[in-house]
Amino acid sequence: MDLHNIRQDYSKQELSPDECANHPIVQFERWLQEAMMAEIPEPTAMNVASVDSTGRPSSRVVLLKEVNTEGFVFFTNYHSRKGRALSTNPFAALNFFWAELERQVRIEGRVFRLPEAESDAYFATRPYTSRVGAWASNQSEIIENKGVILKRAALFGATHPFDVPRPPHWGGYIVQPDCVEFWQGRPSRLHDRVRYRLENDVWIKERLAP
* Annotated binding-site residue numbers: 7-10, 60-65, 75-76, 81-82, 104, 122, 126, 130, 139-140, 183, 189-191, 193
Torsion of CA 135, 77, 95, 34, to 10 degrees: 40
Task: Extract the annotated binding site for FMN.
Answer: 60-65, 75-76, 81-82, 104, 139-140, 183, 193
The full DSSP string for 1-63 is: ---TT------S----GGGS-SSHHHHHHHHHHHHHHTT-SSTTEEEEEEE-TTS-EEEEEEE
Number of CB atoms found within 10 A of residue 34's CB: 15
Residue 21: CB atoms within 10 A of its CB come to 14
Determine the Cα–Cα distance for residues 31 and 21; give it in Å rounded to an integer.
11
Binding residues for substrate: 7-10, 65, 122, 126, 130, 189-191
Give 113's contacts (C-beta < 8 A, 6+ positions apart). Answer: 78, 171, 172, 173
